[in-house]
Structure 1
Amino acid sequence: MIRKLIASVVMMSGVLAASTGALAADNGDVNVLYAGSLVNLMEKSVGPAFEKETGLHFKGYAAGSNKIANEVKGKLRRGDVFISASPKVNANLMGDSNGNHVSWYVNFAESPLMIGYNPKSRFAADFKTKKWDAVLREPGIRLGRTDPKLDPKGAFTVELMTKAAQAYNQPDLVEKTLGTPENPAQVLPEETLVGRLQSGQLDAGFFYSTETSDLKIPSIHPAPELGIKASYTLTILNDAPNGAGAARFVNFLLSAEGRKLLAEHGVDIKKPAVNGNAQGIPSSVQAVIDAAQQ
């Protein structure tokens, strides 16, 4: 009887060990939740390069930054790394009242807001010869943008047009170009906006420079003096299933190779700036940050 009991214990130990090994194998996946404006950069460049460098598996999910934050906060989505297009989004995930999903984040890159247009659009020539705000007010132009409640780019678009109206003394500019902030004729999911433009469903839209540069979309920089741009941040979520893999991804993105890939895709590189509780940053990540700040 005792021998059977011992054999049973040994067998169960083997099963538990096998299960633990399977869980360890699953840690090869690194789930990165990122702003939809970075789809091409992440899926075609950073992700494959990270996999080649580390042997880990990059699993990306793209959407508007606010939308991702809302899904994380509502426990509808889990991830290891979160990359946002605005520092403000991180505040919605910090502190006990917000679920304490984020303790710190790093500003690491910027990308100006641009107006991209379809080169086959009947308005394409006008963008080359007329003031950009005049073209946006032309009858029949099909303009696309993202939801200001779900995506920083949508909020930046409204901010740009509001500031331009004041700077250019055109009080009706916002109404004439955007209509209402949630105008259903213009507002589209961030991950579909580029495709709509390229397929000819839109004449023009608001994009970041990384999108227009990456995808060779003709563009103009409207009102650069107003300084409207994305400020990309990254963090490791506090409840990351694979914290070690997350640290390796952040290390790669902030490394010389990662920063080179960012620059190649039209992103303006910044020296990493830490916000929040720096004591929560893994030591390996802090070392890479320190090196990038030199």
Structure 2
Amino acid sequence: MVRSRRSFLAAAGASAATAASVALAGCSTFGAGSDPVRVLAAGSLQRALDDGLRDAVDAPIAVEARGSAAAARLVADGTRHPDVLALADVALFDRVLDDPWYASFATNALAVATADTPGGRAVAAAAASDDGHWYDPVVAGDAALGRTDPDLDPLGYRTVFLLELLAARHDRPGLPNAVLARDQIYPETALLSGFETGAIDAAVVYESMATDHGYDAVDLPVDVDLSDPEHADAYADASYELPDGGVVRGSAVEYGATLRSPDDDTARDVFEALVGGDYLAGHGFETPGAFPRFTRDAPDALTDR
């Protein structure tokens, strides 16, 4: 099924990348002041932070948006020292970083955005057919698919999970190899640019990205879209090996953040507004009632608020 922008926005309202963007390696500064709170965030969060968080805090903020795996590595090797770190996969806090705690604050789902091109229309038509095999035009070479880098970005390795889960669902073990190719890989900003100019017919994105950019998109089944924790065991059947030899397994999409400058009152205010989530619904994110959910080592001053 293909959902329009209107249905994406309605769903978001009802629920209550990879590379750095634009100038200065993805940095955008809000407000005035010489010491902005430094936020290093998943690329898929950037528009929500730029257009939502800025209005929720009375503080200058400098946001750098990158693929979450790349961002986590930059912090781990001491290249970046953000006050607040927000990632699209909470597993990175344990696998790459040594942060003692984090707060889960939002969820998301995968979708396949379709452009108004012959290939994009073919993908949309295939999705609307009886079998719903949106990927058949890609396999046939009639549509160009875009995706982000699985070595740098959770959206990239979640795209691999999606194809593995679809292969199992439809008993097509060769599907991932038939669909996935290295020349499909783009930094997030280039992916969206290529999609909007028609160079890419379809792209695997988050629902929040489709909402933010007004894209038509294929609504994927819940057992493959990585949106539902109740399907966690099935999602875990998919996996991807990262360049460092570590293996990530499929799981429900869960965004997490940590405060790395706990003694800075302004940074704490920004962190609390970020994980509070009030600004996220209009950008296509889900914020379950149990969120923000803190791990057990989080400071009492935050968890008792």
Q: TM-score, normalised by structure 2?
A: 0.73
Aligned counterpart in structure 1 of residue 204 of structure 2, from 203, 206, 228: 206
Structure-2 residue corresponding to 1:244: 265
Q: 1:194: how far off?
A: 1.4
Q: Please tell me whether the aligned partners of residues 151 and 190 of structure 1 are also in contact (alpha carbons under 8 angstroms).
A: no
For 1:158, which of 149, 157, 160 is the aligned residue?
160
Residue 287 (structure 1) aligned with residue 283 (structure 2): no
Shift of 1:45: 2.2
**Deviation of residue 253 (structure 1)?**
2.4
Q: Based on CA coordinates, which of the two structures has the bigger radius of gyration?
A: 1
Taking the TM superposition and a 5 Å limit, the aligned residue runs for 1:230-269 are: 230-237=253-260, 240=261, 243-255=264-276, 259-269=277-287
Shift of 1:126: 2.2
- 1:31 corresponds in structure 2 to 38
1:125 to 121, 127, 136: 121
1:49-64 equivalence runs, <5 A:
49-50=55-56, 53-54=57-58, 56-64=59-67
- Aligned equivalents of 2:184 and 2:44: distance in 1? 17
Decide whether the 8 Å contact of 1:30 with 1:59 is kept in 2.
yes
- Give the whole-Å Cα distance in 1 for the aligned partners of 2:159 and 2:268: 33
| Residue 149 of structure 1: aligned partner | 151
CA distance in 2 between partners of 1:246 and 1:156 (Å): 31
Which is further off, 205-214 or 222-231? 222-231
Q: For 1:161 and 1:286, locate their aligned partners in 2 and report how far apart those are by CA, in whole Å.
A: 38
Identity of aligned residues (%): 25
1:143-170 CA-partner distances (Å, limit 9, x unpaired): 1111111111111110110111111011
Q: Distance in 1 between matches of 2:123 and 2:283?
A: 24
Q: Which residue of 1 aligns with 2:23?
A: none
Root-mean-square deviation (CA, aligned residues, Å) is 1.9
Structure 2 residue identity aligned to 1:105: Y
Q: Gaps (5+ residues) in structure 2?
A: 1-32, 127-132, 228-252
- Residue in 2 that maps onto 1:105: 102
Equivalent residue, structure 2, for 1:16: none
Superposed counterparts of 1:148-227, under 5 Å: 148-179=150-181, 183=182, 185-227=183-225
Q: Return structure 1 stretches of 4+ with deviation > 3 angstroms.
A: 240-243
Question: Aligned residue pairs: how many?
Answer: 240
Corresponding residue SS for 1:115: strand
Does the 8 Å contact 1:80/1:242 carry over to 2? no
The aligned counterpart of 2:93 is 90
The 1:152/1:198 distance shift into structure 2, 3 A limit, reads same
C-alpha contact (below 8 Å) 2:262/2:268 kept by paired residues? no
Q: Distance in 2 between matches of 1:242 and 1:67?
A: 26
CA distance in 1, matches of 2:272, 2:109: 25
Opposite residue 205 of structure 1, the aligned amino acid is: A
> Matched residue of 1:132: which SS?
coil
Residue of structure 2 equivalent to 1:277: 297
Cα shift readout 1:53-72 (whole Å, capped 9, x = no counterpart): 42x10110001001001111
Deviation per CA, 1:222-273: give whole Å up to 9, x if none. 3322242431111112xx3973222101221244xxx332011110112222
225-234 vs 265-274, greater mean Cα deviation: 225-234
Equivalent residues of 1:69, 1:92 under 8 A apart: no
Question: 1:43 aligned to 29, 50, 63, which one?
Answer: 50
Whole-Å separation in 2 of the counterparts to 1:128 and 1:266: 21
Q: Which has the higher helix share?
A: 1
**CA distance in 1: counterparts of 2:43 and 2:69, whole angstroms:** 11
On the 8 A contact 1:209/1:266 being kept in 2, the answer is yes
